[in-house]
Structure 1
Amino acid sequence: MYTRNLLSYNYKSNIDSIVIRKINLIKMLFLLLLLIIFLTSIVRFYNFFECVNSSSFPVDDFKTDISMLSEAVNIIETERTSNDNLQINNFGSDGKIVDASEIRTDLAAALIKIGDMDNDKKLSDEEITELGVMKLDTKVIQKELREFQFNLRSSDHNLKNFIVITKGKYAGTILYNGPLKFIDDEHKRYFGLELWMDAK
C-alpha cells in the first residue's frame, strides 16, 4: 500500500514538474516573442525617424508627379497660345519671377548647371529672370489636374513647392522647391525629371 502511494505520489510529482516545465517554457517563449516584437518596433521607429530626419523619400512617385505637372503646364501653354487666352500666365504660372532668395539653396546649386550664364557659380536675379522661373498658379494647375483625374502621389502634395521655367529651351520644366529630398538608389537627389545633383 505504501509503495502504491509512493508510486502515485511520484507519478503526480512527475506530471506536476512536466506541467510546470511546459508552463515555464510557454512563459519564456511568450517573453521572447514580446522581446522580438519590441525590438522590431524599435527598429521600425528608428528607420521611420531616420527617414523623417533626413527628409529623404523615394523618387518614383516624385517623377510621376513631375511628369504629370509638366504635361499639365504644357497643355495649358498650348491652350493659352492657340486661344490667345491672356487670363492665364505662361505655363500656368503665377506670372511673377521669383527672387533668388525664394529658391532653396540646394535647388539653386542644381540650377547653376542650366542657368549660370556668367560662370560665377551663383544664380543671380538676372539669371533667374532669363530663365523666367515662376511659381505655379495653383488654381489653374489644380483645375487641369482634376481634368486628368490625377492626384499627386509623392510625399509633398503642396503645389506651392513647385516652380516652372517659362523661358528659353527649358521652358515648361517643372522643378521642386520644397523641403523634402527625393533620392534614388544611386544617391542622386532629384529636383525635376532631368535636374539632379549628387546627394550629400
Structure 2
Amino acid sequence: MDVLPLGLWLDFLGTFVFAISGALVAVRRGLDIFGILVLSVAAGLAGGMIRDMLLGATPPTALEDPRYLLTALAAGVCVFFGHRLLERLNKPVMVLDALGLGVFAVSGCQKSLLFGLDPLPAILLGVLTAVGGGATRDLLVVEIPRVLREEVYALAATVGATIVVAGTALGLSEVWIAVAGVVAAFGFRVISVWRGWRAPRAPGS
C-alpha cells in the first residue's frame, strides 16, 4: 500500500480541521448549506493556496488535487449534520483553529524549506499558511481576523514553524519535527487563551 508523504497528510489534516472550524462559524451565523460549504472550503483551502502561490507552485495543489476540495466539503457536510455534537465541546472553534494553526504552520514551513527558502522566509511563509484560512473565514463573516486581535495567534504559528527550521537544521526526523511543531503551536495557542495572554498594545491605546 502506498504511503502518502508526510506533507500531504499534514495538508489534508489541516484542511479538514480548518474546514470544520469554518463550517461551525457558518452554523453559528445561521447560514444555509451553501454558506456552510463556502466557509468550510475557504477556511480549509485558503492558507495552502496562499503558500503555493507565493512559492510559485502554480496551479496551487488544492486546485490540482481534487482530494483537497473533497476533504473540505466533507468537513462541511459533517458539521451540517453533526454540529450539535461538536458544540458540546469546550470552545470547539478555538480548539480546532489551534490545531489547524499548528498543522499548517508546520506544513507551510516544511514545503518552503523544500523549495529552497532560507529559514526566516520559510518561517514567515509557515505563519502565512497557518493564518490564511482563519483570516479568510473571519473576513467572510465580517469579523476582525483573529490574527489581528489581542489573542496570541500568529506567535503560536511562529513557534511551530521555528521548531521545524531548528529541527531540520539539526537533521532530526521529519516526523518528530512535525509532531513537535504541531504540539508546540497548538499548546501555546490553547494556553494563551486559557491564561488570557495578549500581544502587547501601543502605550495609551
* Shorter-chain TM-score range: under 0.3
Tell me which protein shows more strand as a share of its residues.
1
| Structure with larger Rg | 1
Relative to the length of structure 1, the TM-score reads 0.24
